[in-house]
Amino acid sequence: MSLFAPLSGEVSLHMEAPPEKVWALVSDVTRIGEFSPETFEARWTRGSTGPEVGASFKGHVKRNGVGPTYWAPCQVTKCVPNEVFEFAVGTDSVTANNWGYRLEAEGSGTRVTEYFRLEPVLPMRLYWALLGHLRGRTNEKGMRTTLERMKAVVEA
Distance CA 4, CA 36 (A): 29
Distance CA 61, CA 70 (A): 5
Distance CA 39, CA 47 (A): 21
How many residues are recorded in the chain?
156
Which segment of 28-32, 98-102, 131-135 scores lowest on mean pLDDT? 131-135
Distance CA 120, CA 81 (A): 28
Q: Cβ(84)–Cβ(101) under 8 Å?
A: yes
In this prediction, residues 125-153 reach a mean pLDDT of 91
Distance of CA 125 to the CA centre of its chain: 20
The yes-or-no verdict on residue 1 having pLDDT over 90 is: no
Distance CA 132, CA 124 (A): 9
For 75-92, the pLDDT digits (tens) are 999 999 999 999 999 988
What pTM was computed for the model?
A: 0.92
Residues 6+ apart with CB under 8 A from 104: 19, 110, 111, 113
pLDDT at 40: 94
The one-letter code for the residue type at 130 is L
CATH topology of domain 8-154: Alpha-D-Glucose-1,6-Bisphosphate; Chain A, domain 4 (3.30.530)
pLDDT at 5: 59
pLDDT at 121: 83
Distance CA 100, CA 4 (A): 22
Residue 83 region, left (φ>0) first, then alpha (ψ -120 to 50), else beta? alpha
Shortest CA distance to 86 belongs to which of 5, 4, 3, 10? 10
CB atoms within 10 A of CB 48: 16
* Percentage of the chain lying above the pLDDT 90 cut: 74
H or E stretch including 14?
strand 8-15
